[in-house]
Amino acid sequence: MDNKVVMDTMWVLITAMLVFFMNLGFACVESGFARAKNCVNIMSKNFVVFAVSSLGFLFIGWGLMFGDGSSLVGLKGLFFVGGADNSPAVGEAYKGVYSALNWTGVPLWAKFFFQLVFCGTAATIVSGAVAERIKYISFIFFTFAMTMFIYPVVGHWVWGGGWLAKLGMFDFAGSTVVHSIGGWAALAGVIVLGPRIGKYDNGHIKAIPGHNLSLATLGTFVLWFGWFGFNPGSTMAADPNAIAHVAVTTNTAAAAGIMSATILSTLLMGKPDLGMTLNGCLAGLVAITAPCAFVSVPVSLLIGLIAGALVVLAVMMFDRLRLDDPVGALSVHLVNGVFGTICVGLFAQDKITGTATGNGLFYGGGFKLLGAQLAAVVSVAAFVFLTAFATWIILKATIGIRVSREEELRGLDIGEHGNEAYAGFQVFTTE
């Protein structure tokens, strides 16, 4: 076997394993930002979500996303990864797009595993936004819908040779395909579920602190680390120049997001808020995910600075709109997924890592690329939100999606799982 094929395959699989490791990061962040009485529930959701994703994506998700078919969805060889492979390594839609990278030698199952962990990431984004009041079984059913239909359809539009790819839209590692999809689906769930009991009493916004910011901080470090698989791995080849460039733009945006979120939260709240700092890091990472291979390092710094500020303002905005998101998933993944997608149209520089995108607006490219990115934002928002909203409504009308008031007040750990994360510990208060 050719040495390049071996190196490319190893790179794809190792980076996919890093992205898989991000499941631990999400579990820690979400449980840390939630209350102790719901810790088992959140950990269990984050654990089972990848199992559901693995089965759903294997059974039909891959076929819808990458199977040979129309501009809207894969139609041939739908089940169990059958049919023609139209994933980014091959397929007519990608000839000339990433011409500098030789992707054709990576085996099908290596590409499948890499795409699977991305699918699982999109699904787990929803978990945090609907935390502390959703039925466990309802979340599982929604995850199947997400991984078997919602995610693969949009994935086909962008990465499977669909109509957005043909329009000239670019999303290198998933600001739209992963993060915006997760964000729009989460927004629909938050609206249908409603806020947690006590969050918006008597017209006032009540802070509900997480029980373990140490765990949330650990989780954010894990996610930051895993993103070096997420973005550099999306080269899908052991290309030294591309990998190095993407790693640095990714890290720079994260660092800038941390600083701007910390500074702005200090100015607005009087003291630096750790939760905002952590979400500033994630916001920078989400925003740079689409343009990481197409922008310069100084531009990645600018993107991160804006993303960190956006996440602080978005958290406040969603609270004022009475959209209860315990972990800030909407602010991180939805708002900055949209922002990162638009950044390609604004700041892309053609062939900066050997990829051919066309230049963004600020580099003389005019409005063509920006128009394609905006078309993606609007179309993905409409499809994912409406489809997810309908799915939540169907689940609500059939098996129900929200636990009882008594169970929510007592905690989902006991009500849904019959055990506790901190068994034997008792919290005493003067209230």
What is the per-residue DSSP string for 92-121?
GGGTTTSTTS--TTS-HHHHHHHHHHHHHH
Sign of CA dihedral 271, 33, 18, 306: negative
CB 211 within 8 A of CB 23: no
Give pLDDT tens digits for 251-296.
999 999 999 999 999 999 999 999 999 999 999 999 999 999 999 9
C-alpha to C-alpha distance for 278 and 311, rounded to whole angstroms: 10
Q: Is 17 helix (H, G, I), strand (E, B) or coil?
A: helix
| Spatial CB neighbours of 221, under 8 Å, sequence gap ≥ 6 | 25
C-alpha to C-alpha distance for 353 and 373, rounded to whole angstroms: 20
Q: Whose CA is closest to 108, among 70, 71, 67?
A: 67
| Spatial CB neighbours of 290, under 8 Å, sequence gap ≥ 6 | 170, 171, 172, 173, 174, 175, 176, 340, 341, 343, 344
Tokens linked to 330? 């909407």
CB 193 within 8 A of CB 320: no
With b for 16 or more beta-carbon neighbours within 10 A and e for fewer, the 289-322 pattern comes to bbbbbbbbeebbbbbbbbbbbbbbebbbebbeee
CATH number of the structural domain 3-417: 1.10.3430.10
Encode the chain (431 residues) as per-residue pLDDT tens digits: 578 878 888 999 999 999 999 999 999 999 999 999 999 999 999 999 999 999 999 999 999 998 876 788 877 767 888 766 666 544 333 333 333 444 456 788 888 999 999 999 999 999 999 999 999 999 999 999 999 999 999 999 999 888 999 999 999 999 999 999 999 999 999 999 999 999 998 878 998 999 999 999 999 999 999 999 999 999 988 889 999 999 999 999 999 999 999 999 999 999 999 999 999 999 999 999 999 999 999 999 999 999 999 999 999 999 999 999 999 999 999 999 999 999 999 999 988 987 788 899 999 888 999 999 999 999 999 999 999 999 999 999 999 999 999 999 999 999 999 999 998 776 544 43
| Spatial CB neighbours of 154, under 8 Å, sequence gap ≥ 6 | 176, 177, 181, 380, 383, 384
C-alpha to C-alpha distance for 210 and 390, rounded to whole angstroms: 30
Alpha helices in 177-295, H assignment, sequence order: 181-193, 213-230, 240-269, 274-289
> Does an H or E element contain 339, and which?
helix 336-347
Give pLDDT tens digits for 155-206.
999 998 889 999 999 999 999 999 999 999 999 999 999 999 999 988 789 9
